[in-house]
Structure 1
Amino acid sequence: MQIERWSLRLRMFLFFAFLAGSTILAINLGLWLGYRKLGIAEALDGFIFAGIIAVFGVLGATVWVWILFDEHVAKPIQTLSGTLLARAQSDHPNTKTDHSARYLGDLSLAAQTVTNQLVQTRRLLAKTVAHETAELIETNEKLAALAAEIPFGILLVSGSHKIAFYNGAATDLCGSDLYVSDKKLGLGHSIFDILTPAPLISAYARLCAGDGGIGHVIPLTVMVQDGTQILSARMRLAHAPQSKQDRPAYVLTLDDTAPDQQRRNAHSTLGTQAIRLLADLGATLQTVQNAREHVGSEQAIPKLNAAQQELLNTTAIKAAEVFEEYKHLNALRTQTVIQVSGENICDAVVARLKDVGITLMASQNDPVYLNVDPDPLISLLTHTATRLSQDGAKALSMLITPEDTGVMIALGWSGEALYVDRLDAWLSEPIDTDHPQASWRKVLNDIDTDMWPEAGRGTRRVLKLPIAHAAISAQQNRRGATYDFDLLAKPSQDTHLSTALSDLTYVVFDTETTGLFPNAGDEICQVAAVRIVNGKVVRGETLDALVDPERHIPKAATKIHHITNEMVREHPTIDVVGRALHSFARGAVLVAHNAPFDMAFLHRHASRIGAQFDHPVIDTVLLSAVVFGQSQPHSLDEICTRLGINIPPDQRHTALGDTIATAQAFLKMLKMAEAKGITTFEDLVMEMKRHSRLQPDLNNRTLAD
């Protein structure tokens, strides 16, 4: 029994209860001894009556004093304690103290002064640290941006095979769609969740044993766990093992083998076609020759010669087609196809034209990325814009717009119309006078596209250039590098009770629903979640999905979360999104505000989702009661106000907005709990159960296990 864990109010209650009990016992003992000393039997009723009066008097006085003490001392001290802890986690020194703290006299003023000074000192320290580390932050951002542009996947994995770094290309290669891929890349997750373990374990063991040649690199082939993709990979140790027990981290680079395999298949198909063509030609010629030997009529010979010539002509045409396809495949193999942003293409064209004195305004409607060989495309656009300017075009512009099948690049100008024959003449010009056979038309053919002029608005003219095979992705979906290098030295942890709170991984989530009664037919219409690893919200690891509730959303619910029936139409249903959430939260502790409400919806659909949400759960309502006291209000708005967390009005009552606010509040309250000596998950569960009068704790199964 840890008495120091008891709240001040409980200890004061027990103190006054003991005081009342001992006083009543002493009074009754005195009355009994007095009665025995007096020795008059008739006086017993008087002594009993006096004892009853004394008992009620003592109880009344004690309860009255206890209530006064509880209201004027214990509650204010508990409130002040929570306020001080909250201020220690926020940057709002002027947060008003609860009005009940006035009963504490100078103590409240002194505490407020000290915390204000603490916050100001911390602000100055943070400002100094930010100034000193600004260059480092800028360098990290540049490195993250560089990692995002690298066209192949890069992962840094600890010796226990936990992911500590990955870039956007790795996410794309390993399956970025949670609705398709069973599991998704995430910091702290095992690499074996994503890739088949056998080749990785074998390559790692060989590298630790000293294999890998001069560069200490081992090439290997791995498969994504869902079996949808085979990737070529290279593994390199971060450093040589210092001992047999040392488990160094390693770098894993991934690349897609599909394009190479497609080219090999295409070459194989062309080879088969060529062999079949020659075989058919040989068989037919042999038939014609046999016919020559057996036909006796001289009149049939010219017909055989004509048939033979027609066969040779047809075969020559087919052979030429096969040869052209072969050259096209070889040309594709030699092209430098990378993923380049539309913004970079715009900047490059503007810069090249500026060098020759031509001004062009370039922009893109939405951030897009194209899989092209950028230099020929940029040169083609520059050449065309230069020719337009030489023909008198004014106010040159370029706009890149995403379309369903790719992007459309539009060169615009004011002036005379451009006719097709004039454009063809420009495209027929050689790129380089030393190689007249390489024309701008060949650039278009290599990109597998074409250009044509159109009339624009008013006096504007437009030249259209579609990139039909471009890979387009919105900027917000294009991920940079995600990393936490502290994970490399962190031992593997399970979500068992003895694990330190700071070592656990958390998934904070929230739902928006059609109503408040899951057992009466209400359904989820939006789910959002974020991951917390190593005490920080992982930027980029977010789940935010609208859900088709398969029922009508009442107007009263729409007024709260602004989700309409039209918005959820054709979105995934709860079985799909529920599986995505379950995968997103694997190995983590679930965190939610008013968790029983959200968990009731998930438990109700467990069979349909195909997974049980049996994770450990932390309810921020109960966590707030632990750190602020049960008597305080525990709504999300009240908690955020106490902690100085601002929820933008347009984000309140949206699943993602409430999730982010809950995550911020959770991290601050977790530090407050640790300051109170609650350091393990078991400690926190036991403390939350003390406040089960607010609402039930959901960790009975966790304690049983």
Structure 2
Amino acid sequence: MLIKIGLRARILLFFVALAAGAVAALAVGLWFGYHREGSPDMFDAFMQGAIAAGFLILALITWIWFLFDTHVARPIDKVASAMRARAHADVAHELPTDDARYLGDLAAAASATAATLAQTRGALAESVQRETSRLAADKNKLEQLLADVPPAVLLCTGRHHLVFYNGVAKQFLAGSQRPVCLDRNVFDYLSEGPIRDAHHRLMESADPDAVVEFICLSPCGERRLAGRMRLASDNGGDGGAYVMTLRDVTTEVAAYGRRDVLLGDVFLQIRPAVSELRRRAAEQSGGPRQDGDIRPQIEALDTMLDALEGRFESCRSDGWPMAPTDARELGSQLRRELEGLGLSLEIDADEVAVRCNAFDIVSLLGHIASRVNGTTSAGQFRLAISAVGDAAELAVSWSGGSITQEALQGWLGEPVFEGGVTCETILRAHGNTLLVGFAGDRPAILTRLRPIERLRPVGADLSRHVVYDFDLLSRMHYDKISDARLDALTYVVFDTETTGLLPEQGDEIVQIAAVRIVNGKRVKSEVFNLLVNPGRPIPASATAIHGVSDAMVADAVSVQEAVRQFHRFAEGAVLVAHNAPFDMEFLYRREKEVGLRFLHPILDTVLVSATAFGRAETHTLDALATRLGVHIEEADRHTALGDAIATADVFIKLKDMLAGQGLVRFGEVLSSVRTHQRLVRDLNDHQVQAS
């Protein structure tokens, strides 16, 4: 029982026992003296003396206890917490000894021990860094290669949770309502049936190297994906872990569909016309001439063939290797092509992407420009690409003499590069033609490319990084969250900025940000950061603190939509915040409006800090960051994302300190933090009542 009581509480009990013993000894002595005299007249004197002596003894012991607690017990607790922070939370700065001046050599010895530990750890880290620098460089190169491979690559556990995904996978899965994150279920992003069926077939296969192919859909149904799945050989003990590659075949399937419809229309429309011609020819050859004339039928057939040929030309490019290309990049490639020929090019291109084989189109235009140069001596060209309807109009113009359509037609039959591919072959593959015309008052070659699509901004890290944590393959799964080890849980650490401090009086969120901690590490690429329109003016006093103004949130999402998006981001995770009741109150108020409940387990870093350092310490975010060596940039302080990142880094160090104290399971931590509810209310009681 006494083992679970803190040092200061034990010392207090010691002094209480000492006071009780002293008072008891005084009482026994006075009782013995009184009975030895045996005079009733002395009773009052003995009692008064006993009471006075008792109070003096209690006062003296209380004063001594206060001095001992202030100068010995409390500094010992601080030194112990500081040493634990340096042992488990990787805190490097010097151990503070100002409050421990009455502990003799203990503080100096503890400081020397911590310094030696830091030096040893630093030397070891330096040695490891030297040995692993080459491996780290190779790892970065492999990550870059994996990030840019054309298929989406996913590694999943046997429970279908994400362990690895590359940039292409993030693009493919980004159409889902849920952000792509580690340890999330892959069925949040892809249709469940085909994947479960493929996985089941692999698990039943006797061949460990078997590969199963399948077709699946994204949940929104916008993408049709061709997948290949095989079991992961190096699976960390998870025999059901698998690697899956996905390729977007939406365009291919649509192309095959258009061709099938075209061929169906050929048979549907041509066969009756041919049958009618056959019947009429038989009538005219086998008997007297009829009044009917087959020429209208032939003309109708010719018109049908023209229409079908036009449709075929539009489908011809479906089997040609093509990809969306930024029109500006197409112009840059053509400029490099012409510079190699000693020619110059000015570019004026809209921000659109055209679906084409960029290499072939650039080679074609470069070949034509070289022929124009040979005919007219033009050395300066201009490329204009503009979006018109569903196509992009291309005009390559020059100053000087014009050319004829006949000359252009002659150039189209020439091979563009080795292999015999001619200009006309490239044009037919793109369902295209070249015409001689004018761009303004300059002679030009005109053409069109289709289809086009508007360019959309893409996150800087969307396709250049891979995200993974292979330790997830060997992480244990717990049926009860209270039994789970702290690193076996996923955390979403969040912070809000608001119009004020009184949600019950109408204050609202203006910014909400969050980061994810998976397997004990913060995933730097999985970030939620959203400006929110509060539906009311933001006071200047609030803007002065967090920097969010009315102009910044004018076009931002509503509070309700922000709450919905954050709920999706935090799904299945433990919520972590600093002074969580304040932030959660803004979310709880919107639950009925959005039809969602925040039933997540919640940890408050104020209570976790009290468990790690003791209730008497200061538990503000700034104090914790200073104590644990977490650096917060001044520009990031009091921004939702900056504070969320700082809180996450603080929480990771506090979590390691709790593990050093033997608190390694979530239920143990929850029981411990509840003993400090006088500092901040524990919100997990709210979840119990809600459920």
TM-score range for the pair, normalised by the shorter chain length: 0.7 to 0.9
- Structure 1 segment 48-447 matched on structure 2, within 5 A: 48-88=47-87, 93-95=92-94, 97=96, 99-174=98-173, 176-177=174-175, 181-210=176-205, 216-225=210-219, 229-239=223-233, 247-278=239-270, 281=273, 305=293, 309=295, 312-337=298-323, 372-377=356-361, 379=363, 417=399, 430=414, 431-432=416-417, 435=420, 437-439=422-424, 442=427, 445=430
Distance 1:318 1:343, change over 3 A: closer
Inter-partner Cα distance in structure 2 for 1:144 and 1:402: 36
Q: 1:206-225: CA deviations, max 9, x gaps?
A: 2222267x961112233445
CA shift in 2, pair 1:324/1:113, >3 Å: same
Shift of 1:536: 0.8
Alignment of 1:489-568 (within 5 A): 489-494=474-479, 496-568=481-553
Q: Give the letter for the 2:462 counterpart.
A: R
In 1: Cα distance, 2:406 partner to 2:426 partner: 8
**How far apart, CA to CA, are the structure 2 residues paired with 1:401 and 1:118?**
66
Structure 1 residue 115: deviation in Å? 1.9
The Cα shift of 1:238 comes to 1.9
Indicate if the aligned counterparts of 1:372 and 1:447 stay in contact, CA closer than 8 A: no
Q: Which amino acid aligns with 2:136?
A: I
> Which deviations, in whole Å up to 9, do the C-alpha atoms of 1:288-333 show, x marking residues without a partner?
999999xx9x9x96xx75xx64564354234223223224323222
8 Å CA contact 2:515–2:645 kept in 1: the answer is yes
Task: Please say if 1:679 is aligned against 2:679.
Answer: no
1:587 is paired with a residue of what secondary structure? coil
Shift in alpha-carbon separation, 1:669–1:346, aligned structure 2, 3 A:
farther
Which amino acid is the alignment partner of residue 699 of structure 1?
N
1:44 aligns with 2:53: no
Distance 2:35 2:69 in 1: 40
- Separation of aligned partners in 2, 1:217 and 1:616: 40
SS of match in other structure, 2:676: coil
Look up the SS of the partner of 2:101 in the other structure. Answer: helix
* Aligned CA distance change for structure 1 residues 83 and 650 (closer, same or farther; 3 Å): same
Deviations 1:638-681 (A, max 9, x none): 21122222222222222111111111111111111211222111
Could you give the per-residue CA deviations for residues 404-448 of structure 1, whole angstroms, max 9, x where no partner exists?
Answer: 999999999xxx847886999789554248747525982995699
Paired residue type of 2:210: H
What is the correspondence of 1:26-37 to structure 2 with a 5 Å cutoff? Answer: 26-37=25-36
Per-residue Cα deviation, 1:513-569 (whole angstroms, up to 9, x for no partner): 111111111111211111111111123222111222222222221222222222223
**Cα-Cα RMSD:** 4.6
Q: CA deviation at 1:30?
A: 2.7
Q: 2: distance between equivalents of 1:283 and 1:71?
A: 110
Post-superposition offset of 1:371: 6.3
Alpha-carbon contact 1:482-1:539 (below 8 Å) kept: no
Structure 1 window deviating more from structure 2 (432-441 vs 115-124): it is 432-441
Give the secondary-structure state (helix, strand or coil) at the position aligned to 1:476: coil
Q: What letter matches 1:9 in structure 2?
A: R
Q: Which SS does the other structure have where 2:190 is aligned?
A: coil
Q: Which runs of 5+ in 1 are unaligned?
A: 456-460
| 1:641-652 → structure 2 map (5 Å cutoff) | 641-652=626-637
CA offsets 1:246-283 (integer angstroms, 9 cap, x no match) = 73421122233422331233223323443453367469
Q: Does 2:569 correspond to 1:589? A: no
Identity %: 33
| 1:454–1:34 CA distance, 2 compared to 1 (3 A) | farther
TM (normalized to structure 2)?
Answer: 0.83
Q: Which amino acid aligns with 1:266?
A: R
Instruction: Output the amino acid matched with 1:528.
Output: A
Q: Distance in 1 between matches of 2:65 and 2:390?
A: 75
Q: Return the alpha-carbon distance in structure 1 between the equivalents of residues 158 and 110 of structure 2.
A: 47
| Cα distance change, pair 205–45 in 1 and its aligned pair in 2 (3 A) | same
Whole-angstrom CA distance in 2 between matches of 1:46 and 1:407: 113
* CA spacing shift, 1:188–1:354, aligned 2, 3 Å: same
Q: Which amino acid aligns with 1:265?
A: G
Contact 1:402/1:472 (8 A) holds in 2: no
Measure the CA separation in 1 of the matches of 2:58 and 2:185. Answer: 62
8 Å Cα contact 1:493-1:504 kept in structure 2: no
Once the two structures are superposed, what CA deviation does each residue of 1:609-644 show, in whole Å capped at 9, x if it has no partner? 222111111111111222222222222122112222
Q: In 2 relative to 1, CA 470–522 (structure 1 residues): closer, same or farther, beyond 3 Å? A: closer
Q: CA deviation at 1:340?
A: 7.3
Contact 1:591 1:617 in 2 (8 A): yes
TM-score (norm: length of structure 1): 0.82
Moved more, 255-264 or 555-564: 255-264
User: In the alignment, is the contact (CA less than 8 A) between 1:90 and 1:644 conserved in 2?
Assistant: no
Structure 2, unaligned runs of 5 or more: none
Match of 2:681 in 1: 696
Counterparts in 2 of 1:586 and 1:452: CA distance versus 1, 3 Å: farther
Cα distance between partner residues in 1 of 2:384 and 2:5 = 67
Distance 2:269 2:132 in 1: 69
Residue 476 of structure 1, aligned match among 460, 465, 486: 460
In 2, the alpha carbon distance for the partners of 1:401 and 1:84 equals 67
Q: Which of the residues 563, 580, 588 maps onto 1:603?
A: 588
How many residues align? The count is 677
Do the aligned residues in 1 keep the contact of 2:434 with 2:447 (CA within 8 Å)?
A: no
Distance in 2 between the 1:37 and 1:273 partners? 129
